Structure 1
Amino acid sequence: MTIKKIAFLFLFVNFIFLHSSYSQKYNDVDKIVLKYPKRFNSTEDLAKRIQKDFTSESDKARAIYSWIAFNIKYDYASFLNPPRTQGFSYSTEAEKQRKIKQLNDKLIQKSFTAQKAVCEGFTALYQHLAELAGLKSEIIKGDSKTILEDIGRKNTSSNHAWNIVLIDKKWRLIDVTWGQGYYDSSKGKMVKDFTSIYFDSDPDYFFAKHFPDSGTFLGQKLSKEDFLNGPLIYNITIDGDHQITAPNSGLIEVKNGENVTFRIKNISKTAQFFYLNKKNQPVKIENPKERKGSLEFEVNFDKNIGQFITFYLGENSIVSFKVIMK
């Protein structure tokens, strides 16, 4: 009997007008980890260094996240040309588990030594280092939402993986694959761009971009419909706590000439805020109002608006919606 090992690969798709870049501040843990060697002789040596420098579970978990994000890059070549999956036969459950562990150990060592991986390698390495540092961690497999075409998809697929780690008796969400950078289509290469927003992420924001295969988180059922039909948000959206409170769907069904009201948290009416029409021309938001910490405004949906509408704060994408003309 053959068991196929499934490789969970994540593509960082970046169109110039979609990527949100911003200045990233490092916390005290990150600043210490930045001084670490880029290479250690073994994962055990790295874990010992982390345990020596940090005592709290939170700091250890963050140090592992930071070191991986700083030093392991996304293997885009492997994404484009994935290696053939390895199969194996077994006669007992014990033999099956032993061979699975061998494959996992090989993946961890390859990711650590070559310093490149796809999401399967990132998550396996994070879990391994967490366990060496005395932390409990698990790998979660599921779907990811990253491009405009993901808005309003009909079904989820299992194309990504991330971690949860137990810190102070509470499970925290970790996606170190996304913490290390992104793929820049304009340059045709991966760009290292550390962000901390995928360490101990707010579940509301995290599950706007991730959906586990189980459909649950800590026993709580998640809404597949909200994930599939919600708007597309970006790193700056999470970092600035720009919660989208209206409309309540990423699918905007309108008639030509109809107005739609939007509300987005933590944006000033004096900010440089606009959207692009279907010719990629910027259109300034007219007559915005500040209400209870949110910017409220209307957009008239005429034939100048294309299939998608993306709002920008300065040069940064905040949120995208899919437009369905009735």
Structure 2
Amino acid sequence: MPLKKISFLFLFLNTLFLNVTFAQKVNEVDQIVAKYPKSLNTTEKLAEKIEKDFNSEEDKARAIFSWIAFNIKYDYSAFLNPQRVQGFSYSSEAEKQRKIKQLNDNLIQKTFNSKKGVCEGFTALYQHLASLVGLKSEVVKGDSKTRLADIGRKTISSNHAWNTVLIGRKWILVDATWGQGYYDGSKGRMVVDFAPIYFDTDPDFFFAKHYPDSGTFDGEKINKNDFLNGPLIYNSTIAEGYKIKSPDTGILEVKNGDKVTVEIKNLTKSDQIFYLNKKNQPVKVQNPKEKRGGLEFQIGIDANIGDYITVFIGNNSAVSFKVVRK
């Protein structure tokens, strides 16, 4: 790979939404939804179309995800300049719930009609459309892990939202906001890039990048330390099913002369693997060994290693670690 291209890729590493583009699978549901007419100008008409075209719960849930990803754009300006929280008074619990519902309904209609919003709008619209087609969906608020600076962060914040959807007896994870694209720091704008990996995401991958305020999913506790201190994974890792077996932490406490052993499942020797040194120069991994359905290799720590190590597989970043000098 030309050095110029590799250096350009490295510029993505400190953007807000850390998602490198690459080809992803578009299934039959997505292809049908992509051709939906613009005349579906109410949520009820859209829901009727989805119910007519799809029978299974999973296909309906996927169709909602796809439609939102194809049609709703992330409003980065609104993210940077959030509106004041709208307060209200009430005299009873019933009045309080009515006013909360009205605010939520207004958010849904605003997102649907303007075709833009932030994660609160994406998730409220998803839940609303799900209810119209007979699906049970919940909005989950929590933290997100998208930047190198998030590795080893000390505290949890509530800065993102996503959905869970009940398919049969199983709750699946859906992030329609991340499904529509990512923020390109080099261009200073959002880039539309459909990411179906954020529909029914493997929980192991999902919770490496998300942490719910409740600390639980489907009755199971999510390890907060694993979220805060784990490595940063990228879209290609999720899409290709690359399991990071070693190191088991995202924080590498090392000194010059040490060797860090990296093991990634679902890789073969035909895969091109490299990392960038602190001068943005590519360093090809030497002598990777096949191990347990993947590859194991070593990265030597020297003066050319910067504050982070990002491993690339082919053209795509796969995983990043934070380097802490002893």
- TM-score by length of structure 1 reads 0.94
State the alpha-carbon separation in 1 of the partners of residues 21 and 149 from structure 2.
21
Structure 2: gaps (5+ residues): 1-9
1:40 counterpart SS class: coil
Aligned to 2:282: 282
1:208 counterpart SS class: helix
Q: How does 1:133-212 map to 2 (within 5 A)?
A: 133-212=133-212
- Kept after mapping to 1: 8 A contact 2:24/2:239: no
Identify if the C-alpha distance between structure 1 residues 244 and 38 changes in structure 2 by more than 3 Å, giving closer, same or farther: farther
How much does 1:28 deviate? Answer: 0.7
State the alpha-carbon separation in 1 of the partners of residues 275 and 215 from structure 2.
33
Match of 1:16 among 12, 15, 33: 12
Aligned AA (2:12): I
Aligned to 1:9: none
**How many pairs does the alignment contain?**
313
Q: How does 1:55-204 map to 2 (within 5 A)?
A: 55-204=55-204
- Kept after mapping to 2: 8 A contact 1:16/1:186: yes
Higher mean C-alpha deviation, range 75-84 or range 103-112: 75-84
Identify if the C-alpha distance between structure 1 residues 15 and 37 changes in structure 2 by more than 3 Å, giving closer, same or farther: farther
State the alpha-carbon separation in 1 of the partners of residues 75 and 293 from structure 2.
41
| Pairwise CA RMSD | 1.1
Aligned to 2:3: none
How much does 1:38 deviate? Answer: 3.7
How much does 1:39 deviate? Answer: 5.2
Aligned AA (2:47): A
How much does 1:21 deviate? Answer: 1.5
How much does 1:182 deviate? Answer: 0.4
How much does 1:108 deviate? Answer: 0.1
Identify if the C-alpha distance between structure 1 residues 25 and 89 changes in structure 2 by more than 3 Å, giving closer, same or farther: same
Q: How does 1:163-312 map to 2 (within 5 A)?
A: 163-312=163-312
- Kept after mapping to 2: 8 A contact 1:15/1:184: no
State the alpha-carbon separation in 2 of the partners of residues 108 and 314 from structure 1.
40
State the alpha-carbon separation in 2 of the partners of residues 49 and 288 from structure 1.
51
State the alpha-carbon separation in 1 of the partners of residues 174 and 38 from structure 2.
21
How much does 1:236 deviate? Answer: 0.3
2:262 counterpart SS class: strand
- Kept after mapping to 2: 8 A contact 1:20/1:315: no
- Kept after mapping to 2: 8 A contact 1:271/1:313: yes
Structure 1: gaps (5+ residues): 1-13
Higher mean C-alpha deviation, range 60-69 or range 291-300: 291-300
CA deviations on 1:84-104 (whole Å, 9 max, x unpaired) are: 221001110000000000000
Aligned AA (2:179): G
Aligned AA (2:202): D
State the alpha-carbon separation in 2 of the partners of residues 253 and 288 from structure 1.
22
Runs of 4+ in 1 over 3 A off after TM superposition: none
- Kept after mapping to 2: 8 A contact 1:19/1:316: no
State the alpha-carbon separation in 2 of the partners of residues 69 and 220 from structure 1.
29
Higher mean C-alpha deviation, range 261-270 or range 172-181: 261-270
State the alpha-carbon separation in 2 of the partners of residues 39 and 181 from structure 1.
24
State the alpha-carbon separation in 2 of the partners of residues 213 and 83 from structure 1.
22
Aligned AA (1:124): A
Aligned AA (2:253): E
Aligned to 1:44: 44
State the alpha-carbon separation in 2 of the partners of residues 242 and 63 from structure 1.
27
- TM-score by length of structure 2 reads 0.94
Q: Percent identity?
A: 68
1:16 counterpart SS class: helix
State the alpha-carbon separation in 1 of the partners of residues 110 and 39 from structure 2.
13
How much does 1:256 deviate? Answer: 1.3
Aligned AA (1:229): N
Identify if the C-alpha distance between structure 1 residues 191 and 39 changes in structure 2 by more than 3 Å, giving closer, same or farther: farther
State the alpha-carbon separation in 1 of the partners of residues 146 and 169 from structure 2.
31
CA deviations on 1:221-272 (whole Å, 9 max, x unpaired) are: 1110000000000000000001100011000111211111110112222322
